[in-house]
Amino acid sequence: MTSPSMQATACAQPNIALVKYWGKRDAALNLPAAGSLSITLAALHTRTHLRFDPALAQDEVVLNGRRESEHTRKIGGFLDLFRARARIETRARIESGNDFPTGAGLASSASGFAALAVAADGALALGLAKHELSMLARRGSGSAARSIFGGFVEMAAGDRDDGTDAFATPLLDAAAWPLEVVIAITTREQKATSSRDGMQASQRTSPYYRDWIATVPGDLATARDAVLARDFEKLAHVSEASCMAMHAVMLATRPALIYWNGATLACIQCIRSLQAEGTGVFFTIDAGPQVKAVCLPQAAARVADALRGIDGVEDVLASGLGEGARLETVSA
């Protein structure tokens, strides 16, 4: 089917969910309990080089220049999905780097698994369709399914047991509604509880979990309409509501999952006062303490200045909306 020693490099960008994903209907296949809607960022990148090499006895993973053992099993298991399709057993060396902090709530797993899926497809010459790549990326991390596409993206929960209907589709191109995202970095430390573990704990113990899942389809429909109509205010309301409902579920998890720090709350308050003055901005926060402020383009500079002035904000990054995961090079 393909010659061994094939290699490829792919690039992918993280995405930020506006309608959040927090809960699975099947942990083994990583199937989400509800859909989600996201924007893919332009300014943050994961670049992954993958080489299948018959001389290797086992998979090797180098993340941000450091040899990894912690993630090798998971990444090897993910690559097995591609090896099975190519009917090979050849081990691989994976070198992946992020130009942003890893594991601190900036969706590095989304761009990481999206880049690896595209690189594996390229290196093994599988020629998979985008929705298949999205489905496979999902197996690495639920949010990675969305980073296969650029701009505004919707992830379907699906209802088939085998997960063949749980993949993302593009909703609107980045250029069609060029929003800006300002990210306030409030710590560079890795988070204490991964999304995967946190989600499972919420599902098991949070008394609000069922109600949370029941709100998602309505929020998704509202957000989808808002995106297609480019209605910023409508998107702002539903996105903040989805974010806060997810964090309420996290807080009610036993023991509580508190992903925020003091500066996270200060950023929320700052964004609320900017909104009161009529600035086009809203906030969203994932399983980490960073605050993502989604802005109309004319508001981005003012929002960045305001967030930069907050005690505890270590850095501020700005990004437009970007492209989906793509192959950069393939060689023998």
Positions in the binding site for ligand PMV (CB under 6 A)? 17, 20-22, 36, 109, 141-143, 195-196, 286-287
In DSSP terms, 273 is beta-bridged to none
DSSP letter, residue 96? E
In whole angstroms, the minimum distance from the beta carbon of 248 to ligand PMV comes to 13
Min CB(3)–ligand PMV separation in Å: 33
- Nearer Cβ to ligand PMV (220/303): 220
Nearer to ligand PMV, 9 or 143 (CB): 143
Q: How far is the CB of 130 from ligand PMV (least distance, A)?
A: 18
Closest approach of ligand PMV to the CB of residue 195, in Å: 3
Q: Shortest approach of ligand PMV to residue 217 CB, angstroms?
A: 15
Asked if 40 contacts 75 with a C-beta cutoff of 8 angstroms, the reply is: no
**Residue 60 vs 286, nearer CB to ligand PMV:** 286
Toward ligand PMV, which CB reaches closer, 73 or 308?
A: 73
Are the C-beta atoms of 202 and 22 separated by less than 8 Å?
yes
| Measured torsion, CA atoms of residues 16, 18, 20, 21, in degrees rounded to the nearest 10 | -50
Sequence-distant (≥ 6) Cβ neighbours of residue 40 within 8 angstroms:
13, 14, 15, 146, 147, 149, 150, 151, 153, 174, 321, 322, 323, 324
CB-nearer residue toward ligand PMV: 20 or 91:
20
Minimum CB distance to ligand PMV, residue 199 (Å): 7
Distance between CA atoms of 218 and 196, rounded to whole angstroms?
24
Nearer to ligand PMV, 142 or 163 (CB): 142
C-alpha 259/C-alpha 166 separation (Å) is: 27
Q: How far apart are CA 179 and CA 295, in angstroms?
A: 6
Q: Tokens for 132? A: 């298949």
CB of 142 to ligand PMV, least distance (A): 4
Q: Cα dist. 4→29, 51, 68, 246, 262 in Å?
A: 28, 9, 24, 45, 51
Cβ atoms within 10 Å, residue 187: 18
Q: Which is nearer to ligand PMV, 60 or 154 (CB)?
A: 154
Question: What does the block give as tokens for 200?
Answer: 């499972």
